Amino acid sequence: MSRTAKDFFAPLAVGAPAPPREIPARPSRAIHFFDPGNEKMAAKVPAMVGTVDVLLGNLEDAVKAENKERSRQGLVDIAKATDFGPTQLWTRINSLDSPWVLDDLTTLVPEIGDKLDVVMVPKVQGAEDIHYVDRLLAQLEAKAGLTRPVLVHAILETARGVANIEEICAASPRMQGLSLGPADLAADRRMKTTRVGGGHPGYLVRQDAPRVDGETQYDAERASYQQDLWHYTIARMVDACAMHGIYPYYGPFGDILDTVACEDQFRNAFLLGCVGAWSLHPVQIQIANRVFSPSVEDVAHARRVIAAMGDGTGAVMIDGKMEDDASVKQCQVMVALADELAA
């Protein structure tokens, strides 16, 4: 059953139960950010089509206040001049408490609403923010005669947003997904990291170190493990998105040169259930494409389990490991993702 634009335009009563979701599964392993007002970056966009799942014209943070109009117009120009083929076009609009957001939406929807797949809304605090964007999009789409609804993606980057995560996911049938916004979230929570995402060398857990006879002190080097600062929020986001049938994403990793740590952070997010991450530099596109695609070995194993389990019930032993009805479901997740990426 597919939904018509009418379903998206029908405003939801506040507090109404979320309708079943049919957000199309489209690969979005890397959401590559560019500033459409930066001529050097903008010039590279056409050549990136087909090499990345999502190109996102960023209008919010990292664009100077005096350049907001230029970036917005740059996005209109690029979208009109470019055939995006299989690559999705997203934008990150300015926050709802800024002086720029109304012009962002009232310009972009009539001008390039036919090309825009998703609008990413920053600093979402609760369902009311999504209701506002939803209603405005519906009005602008109706006025422009658009038949394909623009979807909405919320960045989780305030403590209040995290507390209201369920209602945000359920706020509109347009909801496509959520991203973690670790930099703003760290500031809002008064965390003591100044990094943009990723780990922190001070966030450690110690394990009892093996002591040899006569040793009186632990060897901290041997017995310390860095923990993931973002584990709690990502896990919460994954559960909320799974419950509401939308997609969870890790956000930005600011240390462009540290490709190893970036890959580690993306992989943790992938293993926990995220479908993609942001890319702030072309090098991160390669990392995200690799990490958020299941490995050939994992897919082969999953197919083997599914085949061995026949009708999917009961239990079998494969390579000394017990597989049962639940393992089949896990394996189906892996195979479905592989098929979706191969399509």
* Least distance between Mg ion and beta carbon 122 (Å): 6
Q: What is the 3-state secondary structure (H, E, C) of 256-325?
A: CCCHHHHHHHHHHHHHHCCCEEEECCHHHHHHHHHHCCCCHHHHHHHHHHHHHCCCCCCEEEECCEEEEH
Q: Which residues from 237-276 bind ligand GLV, rule CB under 6 A?
A: 251-252
Dist CA 188 CA 105 (whole Å): 26
Identify the residue among 111, 129, 141, 184 touching ligand GLV (CB under 6 A): 184
Q: Is 53 in the site for ligand GLV (CB under 6 A)?
A: no
Q: Is 155 in the site for ligand GLV (CB under 6 A)?
A: yes
**Residue 276 contact, options ligand GLV, Mg ion, none, Cβ 5-8 Å cut-off depending on partner type:** none
Q: Is 328 in the site for ligand GLV (CB under 6 A)?
A: no
Identify the residue among 183, 287, 302, 334 touching ligand GLV (CB under 6 A): 183
Identify the residue among 184, 228, 264, 323 touching Mg ion (CB under 5 A): 184
Q: Is 182 in the site for ligand GLV (CB under 6 A)?
A: yes
* Least distance between ligand GLV and beta carbon 159 (Å): 13
**Residue 173 contact, options ligand GLV, Mg ion, none, Cβ 5-8 Å cut-off depending on partner type:** none
Q: Amino acid identity of 5?
A: A
Size of the site for Mg ion (CB under 5 A): 3
- Cβ proximity to ligand GLV: between 125 and 327 the closer is 125
* Least distance between ligand GLV and beta carbon 21 (Å): 24
Identify the residue among 111, 129, 157, 264 touching ligand GLV (CB under 6 A): 157
User: Which structure tokens are listed for 252?
Assistant: 């930005």
Residue nearest to Mg ion (CB): 184
* Least distance between Mg ion and beta carbon 57 (Å): 16
* Least distance between Mg ion and beta carbon 66 (Å): 20
User: Which structure tokens are listed for 270?
Assistant: 């992938």
Q: Is 168 in the site for ligand GLV (CB under 6 A)?
A: no
Q: Which residues from 122-181 bind Mg ion, rule CB under 5 A?
A: 157, 181
* Least distance between ligand GLV and beta carbon 215 (Å): 43
* Least distance between ligand GLV and beta carbon 304 (Å): 40
- Residue 110, Cβ density class (10 Å: 0-12 exposed, 13-18 middle, ≥19 buried): middle
Q: Interface with ligand GLV by CB under 6 A: which residues?
A: 61, 155, 157, 181-184, 196, 251-252
**Could you list the residues that contact Mg ion (CB under 5 A)?**
157, 181, 184
